[in-house]
Structure 1
C-alpha cells in the first residue's frame, strides 16, 4: 500500500463524498496555489503536474524549496489539522491540475469515518522520516555529495521534469553558483551529463556511493 497516495487508499464511500464536493483547480507554471499566512482551505489532491513548497528564511530572506508533490500525492493537511495559517507558499512548477476538498467536508468525513485518521497519521509519519533524512544529508554531507543525492532524488521523483539549478540549490540548502560548480565536477567525473537544462544520470551507482569531500 502506498501511504503517500492517500486518495488511492480511501474507501469508495469516502471517495464519492470527496468527489461530489471537490473543486477542480488548474494552474500554469509559476502560479501560486496558496501563500504563507493564508487560512487553510482544505486538502489538495494532485491529479497531474508538480508542486513545490517554499518558505522564506526569517534571517536571510532567501527562498527555500522544502519539498515537492507529484501526481497522486496531497498537501495542505498539516496546517488544516493544526488549525494554523499556511507556513509557506505552494507554487506550480509545471502545468498542474488539483482537486481541492474543502475543510468542512474533510472534518465531517473524519467524524464519521475515523479510519481516515489512521491513513493520515501514516502519511505524516512517512513525511517526518523523509524530512529527517534530508536534514541528516544536509548536516553530514559536503556539497558534492549533497548535489549527487539531490539529483538522484529529484530525477526519481519526477523523471520528465527539467529540474533547474535553482530548484536543486534550494533543495540542497545551497546557492546556484555552488551547485553549478558541483554539477560541472560531477560531469567531469562522468557521473552526469548536461545539455542545456537537461540533466542525465550516467553513473547512478557512483552518485549513490559518492563520499563527502
Structure 2
C-alpha cells in the first residue's frame, strides 16, 4: 500500500545489515512514478559514528573498518531537501534550494532499494547508499561526485556494502541519459515545490526509528 501524503516516514541507510543513517521525512506523494519525500532543515537525525565521535568521512576507510561504531542522534544542518525515489531505478534524486529558496541543483544519490516497512506507529524506507553520486546544475550540466571514496571502499570488499561496482556505474550512466535529455525528473517538475506550512520540523526521532534493518 502507498504511504499517505503528509505521513511521517523514515529514510534510512543500511550498510552490511545495520542502520547507519536515519532521516525523518514527510510524504509529499506516493504514486506510479515513485515516492516523494520532504526533509526539513533542523530535523532530528541519527548518523553512525565511531565511538570517539568521528564519522566515516573523517578518516580513511581502512581505519573506519577497525573501529567500533554507534548511532549518534543529532540535528540536520544542511538545507531542506525534496527527495524522489523512483519506482524503476536504483537512485534517489534530491532537489536542493539556495538561501533565497530558489531551486539550486539536483543531486543523484545512487542507492539500492531494500524495503519499505510499516509498523503502524512508525514507517519508512530502507536503502543501501552506494556512495557514487551525480551533481546536476539547473542547466543540466553534471559531474560525478565521490569517485575517490567509491574506489577506496571497493578496495576492501570484505567490509564494503556495495557488491557490484559495474551495476552502480551502469545506473549512473542510465540516469545521465535522462539528465542530458531533460526528461523526468530533470524536466523542471517539482523545482518550484514548497512544503505544506503546517508540517512541523521533527525535533526528535519517533519511537521505532532504530528498528532492525529490513532485509
Greater strand content = 2
Could you say whether these structures have the same fold, taking a TM-score greater than 0.5 normalized by the shorter chain as the test?
Answer: no
Decide which structure has the larger Cα Rg and report it: 1
Aligning the two structures, in what range does the TM-score lie when normalised by the shorter sequence? Answer: under 0.3
